[in-house]
Structure 1
C-alpha cells in the first residue's frame, strides 16, 4: 500500500472529501499530501470556499410541473416568432 498521493489522485480525494465520500485512510493521505504540495493545498482551500458559498446561497430548483410549464410557454413564444 502506498502512502503518498500524486497530485491528480489528491484532487480526486479532495473532491470526495467535500462530498463525504472519502474513507479515513484517504483523508489521512490527502492531509499528508497537502502539507507538502502547495498547489494541492490551494485547490483544497478553493474547494472548501466553493462548498461554503454554495451551501450559504440556499439555492432551490423549480418543481418539475413549473419547469414543464415554462418550457411549454417558451416553445409557444418561439413558434409565434417563427410565424411572423
Structure 2
C-alpha cells in the first residue's frame, strides 16, 4: 500500500500523462480504500478541466475571478 503523499504525487503525474502503468495501478488500489485521496483526484480532475477550457495565457482579473469562483462552486457541491 502506498502513502497518501505518494498517492497525491501519482495523481498529479497522472493528470499530465506522466504516470507509469504500475503507478496508476497502485493509485487506483489506494483510492479504493482512501476517501480523501479519491476526493483529491476528483478535485484535481475538475481543476485540470477548467484550465484546459480556458486555453489562454493572459487572463484579465475578472476572468481569473470567474474561474476561481467556478472552481470553488464545484468544490462546495461535493463537500
Q: Same fold (TM over 0.5)?
A: yes
| Cα drift, residue 30 of structure 1 | 0.3
CA radius of gyration, larger in: 1
What 5-or-longer segments of structure 1 have no aligned partner?
Answer: 62-84
| Cα drift, residue 59 of structure 1 | 1.2
Over the residues paired in the alignment, what is the CA RMSD in angstroms? 0.8
Tell me which of 55, 60, 63 is aligned to 1:58: 55
What 5-or-longer segments of structure 2 have no aligned partner?
Answer: 59-79
TM-score, normalised with respect to structure 2? 0.70
Tell me what 2:23 maps to: 26
Instruction: Report runs of 4+ in structure 1 exceeding 6 Å deviation.
Output: none
The alignment covers a number of residue pairs equal to: 58
Q: Does 1:15 align with 2:12?
A: yes
SS at match of 1:12: helix
Residue-by-residue CA offset, 1:17-50 (whole Å, 9 max, x unaligned): 0011100000000000111100000000000000
TM-score, normalised with respect to structure 1? 0.66
